[in-house]
């Protein structure tokens, strides 16, 4: 058919790409605010436990299936099927993954577009272009379409360049920049008045808030944050060399994801209380800490405004951080449908990327134009229903459908002797029984 499949040139390249996919708006924006409104460190502890006990095993299922099949989710699930029914189930789950990955990208690109607009805003202010600055931060349909288009274009450019020259190169460049920016911002914010109150709210556990709701919220967060269920990690696994140990790389990806989410809390919560000290309202009328778009697009910019010229640079650093985090995630989403188009439809990458990218941009545009009715709906369909249900399907494939000897043989590549390890004693049962049951229980709780 088409050109030979791409492959990551090194395990560091894979690690940066997979961690880049995992680390996104979910870590820097979602995690800290969920922690703050769900008992601070109590949420952090529950999240840590769930990330390693639930999300890591599911991540391993995706990586192992992907590396074995060396293809996209549809092909991969069909390939490890053992009969016509499981093949059909595999096609359904595979197409479901492609659809949900595209839907997630369609709303993610809108939010990331806001980040690009807010990154441009301080430059407009520095140039004295006040009209432009007001447009950049005003929530108009025109502004949203423009910046979603810009962000989608950036995502397409990287994906069109391929696995090694696009995904790997950019992730390896952007991930270290992200960590440096995050640390610089933390150091700056922690020196401002009010910061320690934020640290206390974040780090003092309030276990009285422990509830099923907290568990579900932490589970959803872990699934979204590790990019699970939609074939992103599967396709990245399919570009990984067979010389690497999957359990080890998977654990590192989980560790980096959790580590950056935790570290982002050290920035966001203190920044909120510094904003309060500077006179900005940080609680909603109902007494809850402001979260979501209002936090990122109002509370924090209000804080940066009180910092004078330094604030312009802090704003640039902060929104650059957000754009970088979004971009290394959005490319992993776009790769899912693009890889399918290349492998199953025989379209060349350079053509498949703009075609698929434009279809997804069209969906984003429809959402932008009908924002109030569609945005929340698409977020909920894709992340509350799609991701957990597809996650269960992937666990069922790894745990029940795929032949156990093939599964073991795949894991032994790059990790000889794994059959005697603790991992092999626990994990197969885990993906078989514990993961699907836990995910389904939480899913039932949250939607019924
Ligand atoms: N993990 C990304 C984040 O935390 C989101 C994502 C979801 C990426 C699904 C890819 C697939 O922002």
Angle at 35 between CA 31 and CA 39, to 5 degrees: 170
Q: Rounded to the nearest 5°, which phi and psi values hold at 131?
A: -60, -45
- Choose the residue to mutate in 24, 63, 231, 338 for probing ligand 1, maximizing ligand atoms within 8 Å of C-beta: 24
Side-chain-side CA neighbours of 253 within 13 Å: the count stands at: 35
User: Looking at the DSSP assignment, which residues form a beta bridge with residue 283?
Assistant: 289
The mean pLDDT value for 234-256 works out to 96
38 Cα to the center of ligand 1, angstroms: 21
The closest residue, in CA terms, to atom 9 on ligand 1 is 227
Q: How many CB atoms lie within 10 A of CB 71?
A: 22
* pLDDT for 1 beyond 70: no
309 Cα to the center of ligand 1, angstroms: 33
What does the chain come to in residues?
Answer: 448
* pLDDT for 164 beyond 90: yes
The mean pLDDT value for 193-214 works out to 88
The closest residue, in CA terms, to atom 3 on ligand 1 is 24
The closest residue, in CA terms, to atom 12 on ligand 1 is 24
Distances, alpha carbon 336 to alpha carbons 30, 72, 332, 341, in Å? 23, 7, 7, 9
Greater model confidence, 33 or 110: 110
Q: Which of 380, 293, 263, 278 is nearest to 113 (CA)?
A: 293
| Residue 274: partners with Cβ closer than 8 Å, 6 or more residues away | 189, 192, 193, 194, 195, 198, 303
In the block, residue with structure tokens 């989403």: 333
The mean pLDDT value for 158-164 works out to 97
C-alpha to C-alpha distance for 14 and 155, rounded to whole angstroms: 18
Backbone CA torsion sign across 229, 247, 256, 334: negative
234 Cα to the center of ligand 1, angstroms: 13
Q: Show contacts of 81-86: CB within 8 Å, 24+ apart.
A: 81/401, 82/401, 82/403, 86/397, 86/401
Mean pLDDT over each residue of the chain, to the nearest integer: 94
30 Cα to the center of ligand 1, angstroms: 11
C-alpha to C-alpha distance for 208 and 202, rounded to whole angstroms: 15
The mean pLDDT value for 326-342 works out to 98
Res 270: pLDDT? 95
Q: In the chain, how many H helices and how many E strands?
A: 23, 0
For the chain, give the percent of residues with pLDDT over 70.
99
Question: For the ranges 208-212, 248-252, 359-363, which has the lowest average pLDDT?
Answer: 208-212
> Contact 171/17 with Cβ under 8 angstroms?
yes
Res 106: pLDDT? 98
Q: Which of 153, 143, 158 is nearest to 6 (CA)?
A: 158
- Choose the residue to mutate in 17, 23, 26, 257 for probing ligand 1, maximizing ligand atoms within 8 Å of C-beta: 26
> Contact 56/223 with Cβ under 8 angstroms?
no
> Contact 265/60 with Cβ under 8 angstroms?
no
Greater model confidence, 201 or 14: 14
The closest residue, in CA terms, to atom 7 on ligand 1 is 227
- Choose the residue to mutate in 100, 108, 253 for probing ligand 1, maximizing ligand atoms within 8 Å of C-beta: 108
C-alpha to C-alpha distance for 384 and 223, rounded to whole angstroms: 10
Radius of gyration of the chain (CA): 21
Res 3: pLDDT? 55
- Give tens-digit pLDDT for 60-108: 999 999 999 999 999 999 999 999 999 999 999 999 999 999 999 999 9
140 Cα to the center of ligand 1, angstroms: 26
Q: Note whether ipTM > 0.95 here.
A: yes
Q: What separation, in Å, do the N-terminal and C-terminal C-alpha atoms of the chain show?
A: 46
Two tokens at 437? 């049951």
> Contact 340/74 with Cβ under 8 angstroms?
yes
- Give tens-digit pLDDT for 402-437: 999 999 999 999 999 999 999 999 999 999 999 999
313 Cα to the center of ligand 1, angstroms: 27
DSSP conformational letter for 70: T
Res 286: pLDDT? 82
C-alpha to C-alpha distance for 290 and 173, rounded to whole angstroms: 33
What is the per-residue burial (b if ≥16 Cβ within 10 Å, else e) of 296-325?
bbebbbbbbeebeeebbebbbbbbbbbbbb
Q: Domain residues of the chain, as ranges?
A: 11-447
Pocket around ligand 1: residues whose beta carbon is below 6 Å from it? 21-22, 24-27, 104, 224-225, 227, 230, 232, 329, 332-333
* pLDDT for 284 beyond 90: no
Specify the fold of 11-447.
Answer: Hydantoin permease (1.10.4160)
Two tokens at 38? 């769900």
258 Cα to the center of ligand 1, angstroms: 13
Classified as helix, coil or strand, 417 is: coil
Kindly indicate the confidence band of residue 216, based on its pLDDT and cuts at 50, 70 and 90. confident
The verdict on pTM exceeding 0.80 is yes
C-alpha to C-alpha distance for 165 and 161, rounded to whole angstroms: 6
39 Cα to the center of ligand 1, angstroms: 24
């Amino acid at each position: 058919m088409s050109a030979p499949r791409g492959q990551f040139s090194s395990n560091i390249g894979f690690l940066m790409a997979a961690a880049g996919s995992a680390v996104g708006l979910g870590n820097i924006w979602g995690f800290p605010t969920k922690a703050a409104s769900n008992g601070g460190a109590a949420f952090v502890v529950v999240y840590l436990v769930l990330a390693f006990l639930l999300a890591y095993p599911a991540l391993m299922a995706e990586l192992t299936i992907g590396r074995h099949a060396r293809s996209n989710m549809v092909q991969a699930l069909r390939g490890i099927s053992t009969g016509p029914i499981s093949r059909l189930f595999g096609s359904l789950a595979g197409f479901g993954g492609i659809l949900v990955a595209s839907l997630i990208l369609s709303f993610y690109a809108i939010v990331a577009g806001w980040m690009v607009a807010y990154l441009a805003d301080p430059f407009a202010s520095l140039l004295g272009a006040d009209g432009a600055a007001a447009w950049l931060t005003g929530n108009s349909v025109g502004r949203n379409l423009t910046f979603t288009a810009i962000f989608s274009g950036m995502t397409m450019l990287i994906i069109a360049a391929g696995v090694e020259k696009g995904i790997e190169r950019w992730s390896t460049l952007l991930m270290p920049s992200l960590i440096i920016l995050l640390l610089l911002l933390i150091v700056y914010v922690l020196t401002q008045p009010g910061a320690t109150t934020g640290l206390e709210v974040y780090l003092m556990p309030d276990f009285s808030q422990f509830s099923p709701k907290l568990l579900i919220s932490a589970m959803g967060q872990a699934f979204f944050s590790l990019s699970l269920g939609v074939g992103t990690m599967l396709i990245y696994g399919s570009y990984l060399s067979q010389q690497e140990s999957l359990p080890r790389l998977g654990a590192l990806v989980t560790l980096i994801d959790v580590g950056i989410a935790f570290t982002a809390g050290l920035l966001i919560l203190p920044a909120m209380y510094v904003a309060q000290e500077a006179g900005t309202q940080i609680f909603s009328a109902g007494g809850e800490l402001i979260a979501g778009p209002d936090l990122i697009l109002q509370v924090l910019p209000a804080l940066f405004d009180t910092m004078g010229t330094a604030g312009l640079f802090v704003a640039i650093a902060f929104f650059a951080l957000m754009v970088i985090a979004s971009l290394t995630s959005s490319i992993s989403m776009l790769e899912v449908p693009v890889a399918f188009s290349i492998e199953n439809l025989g379209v060349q990458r350079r053509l498949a990327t703009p075609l698929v990218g434009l279809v997804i941009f069209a969906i984003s545009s429809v959402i932008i134009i009908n924002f109030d009715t569609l945005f929340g709906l698409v977020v909920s369909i894709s992340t509350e229903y799609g991701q957990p249900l597809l996650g269960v399907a992937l666990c069922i494939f790894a745990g029940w459908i795929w032949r156990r000897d093939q599964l073991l043989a795949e894991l032994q590549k790059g990790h000889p002797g794994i059959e005697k390890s603790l991992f092999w004693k626990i994990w197969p049962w885990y993906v078989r029984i514990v993961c699907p049951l836990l995910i389904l229980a939480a899913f039932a709780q949250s939607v019924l």
